[in-house]
Chains A and B, each alone.
Chain A
Amino acid sequence: MYIIKNAYLNIKRNISRNILISIIIIVIAAACTVTLAIRESAEKIIKSYEEENKIEASITLNRESLMNSFREANKTQEEMINSFNSIENITEEEIENYGSSEYLNDFYYTIETSVNAKDITEATDSLVKETTETTTETQTRTENFPGGGFPGGDHGGSSRTTTDKKTTTKKTEKIFNEKLDNGAFTLVGYNSYNDMKEFIDGTFVITDGEVSSDFESNSCVISEEIASLNNLSVGDTITIVDPKDSKKTYEFTISGIYKEEKSETTNASMFTNSANKIITNVTQVKNILNANSDLNSTITPTFILKDEASVDKFIEEVKNKGLNEYYEVTTNLDEINQGSESIKNVRVFATTFLIITLIIGGVVLIILNIINIRERKYEIGVLRTIGMKKSMVSLQFAFELLIVCLFGLCLGASIGSACSVNVANNLLANEISAAQSKYDNIGNNFGVAGSNMKDYTRNNKSFGVAEVSKINTINAVVDFKVLIELLGIGILLTLIGSLGSMIAISRFSPLNILKERS
């Protein structure tokens, strides 16, 4: 206790020197507060971004691997299609199995099936193969030539055998994608806006109407091409026909028309064509599938991973559980990292600045403290002579610096916190603007006005992106965590600053000091 009291008395005694040290620490603390606040804010935005943009994995057909294997085997197109048909679809059981992984937070899937539709022209990716078969029939006919004959013949006449009939048969064989053999259109069912990645990432954009928020209704969204080809518009009704039982029909109301902005692929087709995609909800697709067990369906799973570290582990686990070699687990990790790259750069910059500030601050404090120690050698000598241990003398000097540091930190933190909000907001303005723009764009993709978007959220998620209204200004940047970090910095600076004095005190001989004094 007397150490602290003595430290306090010494601070009072050397008030001008300690004011100088305080000013240095105030500057360091203010710089650190601003830096920590920016870092903290950046981390919050990144965290928010990562929370809203979950790392997702899906199982997709590895077309590159597939095509390579085809090329290596010199397969014809027919063989390629047949090989492709032999690849089994991912089943619901498999997805459930993969979904039980400890590396996942959640998983969901979309179901799609092929259907026909009345009076609608469709695109096709089937192959019609025409083969020609020629059959030659040989008919033996003997002709006798009276009175003649070949030279040297024994007969009075001659005979000859001839073939005179050829039959050519043309065969037309349709080589088609069996996964789509049931119909011309792909009917895709989603559970919620959050599952509709094509609309979130801008692959599909609603040009008229909207994606209905009722995920049980018989509404659907069709492509611009189909709408144009068949003169369909929002509000019209289309009739979906079971491709294996044309008696089974289903009425759908068009709630929106979309266009494809980017190319996309699906597991169910080698040659994707989103023009034939009719988008509805899982309930409606299941109704159709339940009504006819002969219908094929494709399930596209989406696995929500816990964190970045889980990605490789999950992929490994899925492979170990027997994922077909032609399928691969793909994730959106690169996209997520890309999305938060600039804000991460701000964080790195803040961290670098913090380290530089601490190094400079630490060096200045060490120098000041060494000067301080040299000037107070006599005091150290007296204290050591009357029996104060080296460790206690060092502790007293450390306490002096700590008290000054804490005072400087409090003032510096106050100044820093006042500046940090503006500084952080200015630095992160571009990020906020980009996020706002992204949020608005997604709303447009769904055909839903920005202010109404919240009505269509699920679990407080708005289209899988952060709700920008929460981060349009940096709130509470100097929070408890920052204060704790500042305290840590204060202790660190004290230790660094005291290091020189500790070394000096341990090397001082009290006798020599007092001799010098004498």
Chain B
Amino acid sequence: MNVLELKNVSYRYNDAPKDEYVLKNINLKFKKGKVYAIKGKSGSGKTTLLSLISGLEKKYEGEILYKDKELKKYDLDKYRSNDVGIIFQSYNLLPHLTLKENIILSMDISKSKIKDKDIVIKRLMNEVGLDESLINRRILRLSGGEQQRVAIARSLSYNPDIILADEPTGNLDHETENEIMKIFKKLSKEHNKCVIIVTHSKNVCELVDEVYELKKEKKGSI
């Protein structure tokens, strides 16, 4: 069963001419337990596609089905806080909060009913390869790799079906990139998550199960 399916999805910016689409007639299917890569050159619409899938943008044409139901019919705030975890290249953590506070905030927003959140956070930290001693450290005092791990841990904290990652290793060295990719692979296989990574890294593309490429010349055709 497809956890996510795109049917003839097209998108153009509000201020763009009527026939100038960033994405045109995109048809994709995503399943749980797999890691997908969407690659393409700059301006090919990778991040735009991710924003559509994550529910951050909803003025698209065609259909995006999450569990066979049109995404627009969902409460998109709830969808983002419960069903999909988003990881950005620049991590997008709250710098004034500690590692723990960042993750707890995300759990709170998803209205998680877990009582002992500390235990869950420590488990997540172990899964993403973070040392427990960092739990009360402020985000700005963590390295780039650590921050990205925190972002992954945060996205897992409410147990979503889909993990969306926008250039998750773009700011990281090759070794850390491999470690992060191992985490994604582990999540897909052991936790049955659907991981969708937007990237232009060949290394990442080699490590995933399926690769989709967006070609700029054809305005989003695959």
Q: Are B93 and A387 in contact (CB under 8 A)?
A: no
Measured between beta carbons, the chain A residues less than 8 angstroms from B77 are 384, 387-390
User: Nearest A residue to B155 by beta-carbon distance?
Assistant: A386
Chain A 476-518 interface residues, beta-carbon cutoff 8 Å to B: 509-511, 514, 517-518
The minimal Cβ–Cβ distance linking A517 to chain B, given in whole angstroms, is 6
Check B79 for interface membership: any CB of A closer than 8 A.
Answer: yes
- Sample (18) of A-B pairs whose CB atoms are under 8 Å apart: A2-B104, A2-B108, A2-B109, A6-B105, A9-B97, A379-B94, A381-B92, A382-B92, A385-B54, A386-B80, A386-B81, A387-B79, A387-B80, A390-B77, A509-B56, A514-B90, A514-B92, A518-B88
Indicate if A10 sits at the interface (CB-CB under 8 A): yes
Q: How far is the CB of A10 from chain B (nearest CB, A)?
A: 7
By the criterion CB–CB under 8 Å, are B106 and A518 in contact? no
For B97, the chain A residues whose CB sits under 8 A away are 9
Number of residues from B at the complex interface, CB < 8 A: 27
B90 touching A2 by the CB < 8 A rule? no
Is there a chain A Cβ closer than 8 Å to B199's Cβ? Answer: no
| Measured CA separation A10–B105 after assembly (Å) | 13
Contact between chains at A386 and B109 (CB < 8 Å): yes
Q: Mark A1-17, 1 if CB is under 8 A from B, else 0.
A: 01000100110010000
The 8 Å CB contact of B81, one of A10, A13, A387, A509, is A387
- Nearest residue (CB) in A for B52 is A511
B167 vs chain A, min Cβ distance (A): 9
Q: Which residue of B lies closest to A392 (CB)?
A: B109
The verdict on A517 contacting B110 (CB below 8 Å), with A9-B101, A385-B56, A386-B154 known, is no
Q: How long is the Cα–Cα vector from A449 to B88 in the complex, in angstroms?
A: 89
Which residue of chain A lies nearest to B81 when distances are taken between CB atoms in the complex? A387
Near A by CB (< 8 A), chain B positions 32-79 give 51, 54, 56-57, 77-79
CB pair A385–B109 under 8 Å, yes or no, is no
* B82 is an interface residue with CB less than 8 A from chain A: yes
Given contacts A386-B109, A514-B90, 15 further A-B contacts (CB under 8 A): A13-B96, A385-B56, A385-B88, A386-B86, A386-B154, A387-B77, A387-B80, A387-B81, A388-B77, A392-B109, A509-B56, A510-B56, A511-B56, A514-B92, A517-B92
Residues from chain A with Cβ under 8 Å of B96 in the complex: 9-10, 13
Q: How far is the CA of A192 from the CA of B60 in the complex (A)?
A: 88
B192 at the interface (CB under 8 A from A): no
Which residues of chain B are near A388, meaning CB under 8 Å? 77, 81, 109
B80 touches A385 (CB 8 A): yes
- Interface size, chain A (Cβ < 8 Å): 23
**CA–CA, A386 to B160, complex, Å?**
12
**B25: which A residues are within 8 A, CB to CB?**
none
Give min CB distance, A9 to chain B, whole Å: 7
Whether a CB of chain A sits under 8 angstroms from the CB of B89 is yes
A residues in contact (CB < 8 Å) with B: 2, 6, 9-10, 13, 379, 381-390, 392, 509-511, 514, 517-518
CB <8 Å contact, B82 and A387: yes
* Whole-angstrom distance between the Cβ of B180 and the nearest chain A Cβ: 18
User: Across the interface, which residues of A come within 8 angstroms of B82, CB to CB?
Assistant: 387
Nearest CB of chain B from residue A302's CB, rounded to whole Å: 70
Contact status B109-A518, CB under 8 Å: no
Min distance, Cβ A387 to any Cβ of chain B, angstroms? 2
In the bound complex, do residue B94 and residue A387 qualify as a contact, i.e. CB atoms below 8 Å apart? no
- A87 and B181 alpha carbons, distance in the complex (Å): 111
Chain A residues near B106 (CB-CB < 8 A): 386
Contact B93 A385 (CB under 8 A): no
* Also in contact, A382 and B78, with CB within 8 A (given A6-B105, A387-B110, A510-B56): no
Chain A residues contacting B90 (CB-CB under 8 Å) are: 514, 517-518
CA distance A510 to B86 in the complex (A): 13
Q: Give Cα A251–Cα B35 distance, bound, in whole angstroms.
A: 121
- Shortest C-beta distance, B77 to chain A (Å), equals 5
Please tell me if the beta carbons of B105 and A2 are within 8 angstroms of each other in the complex: yes
Query: Which B residues lie within 8 Å of A384 (CB)?
Result: 77
Q: Is the Cβ of A385 less than 8 Å from the Cβ of B108?
A: no
Q: Report the nearest B residue to A13, measured CB to CB.
A: B96
A514 near B88: Cβ-Cβ < 8 Å: yes
Q: CB-nearest residue of chain B relative to A510?
A: B56
Interface string of B140-177 (1 = CB under 8 A from A): 00000000000000100000000000000000000000
Per the bound structure, the CA–CA distance linking A509 and B48 in Å amounts to 14
Closest chain B residue, CB of each to CB of A378: B92
Residue from the list B51, B78, B88 in contact with A387, Cβ < 8 A: B78
Contacts of B88 in A (CB 8 A): 385, 514, 518
Task: Name the interface residues of B180-206: CB closer than 8 Å to any CB of A.
Answer: none
Q: Which of A2, A386, A392, A511 has the most CB of B within 10 A?
A: A386
Contacts of A517 in B (CB 8 A): 90, 92
Contacts of A392 in B (CB 8 A): 109
In the complex, the answer to whether B79 meets A385 with C-beta atoms within 8 Å is no
Beta-carbon contact of A382 and B51 below 8 Å: no
- Measured CB to CB, the nearest residue on chain A to B54 is A385
A387 to B86, CA, bound (A): 10
Give Cα distance in the complex from A389 to B111, angstroms.
Answer: 12
Complex formed: what's the CA distance from A2 to B102 in Å?
A: 12
* A373 CB, nearest partner CB in chain B, Å: 16
Nearest chain A residue, comparing its CB with the CB of B85: A386
User: Closest residue of chain B to A515, judged by CB?
Assistant: B47
